[in-house]
Amino acid sequence: MNSKLFLSRHGGALITLAAVFLLIHVWAFMSRPDISLPLYYAWPDIDIPVHIIFGAWLVLFFLYPNVIRRTDRLFVFSLVMLIGLGWEFLEYGFDVFYGIAHGYYPAHHSMADTYKDILDNGVGATAAVYFFRFFI
């Protein structure tokens, strides 16, 4: 992307959300409160801000000019929700076909966790749609 991205408010929001998302992920997976579990598994609620930030970032990314031609906010919201649903299928598939057999802790905890994750994506997407509408 070009330098205009860094100077615009939209670009600043994209970069800030991406940085926060990456910091939370690195912190959650790399820190070890005890010798047996990374923080992500010892404190599963860290998953909530990760999904909210991810949903918000995707909306801002898709609404950025020239990423996709159609910038209808309902279309972008639906696209983000579809990506969130796809992510949950990937988590489940990883657990079933690889993770559990190789001793990893499951990423898919229950259907309630899946619904909560999709709802969190929607909360972040809704917040970003309104942020985009009123501030950018």
**Is residue 81 within 8 Å of 122, Cβ to Cβ?**
yes
Closest listed residue to residue 58, CA positions, set 133, 134, 135, 122: 122
- pTM value surpassing 0.85: no
- Token pair 């696209």: residue: 79
Task: Write out the chain's pLDDT in tens, 136 residues.
Answer: 455 655 677 777 778 888 887 777 666 656 555 555 656 666 777 788 888 888 888 888 887 766 666 667 888 888 889 988 998 888 888 778 877 777 766 666 778 888 888 999 999 999 988 887 777 6
Residue from 48, 61, 18 nearest 120 by CA: 48
pLDDT tens, position by position, 120-133: 999 999 998 888 77
Q: Residues 58, 50, 136, 126: what is their CA dihedral angle, to the nearest 10 degrees? A: 80
| Residues in Cβ contact with 28 at an 8 Å cutoff, skipping those fewer than 6 apart | 38, 39, 40, 43, 46, 50
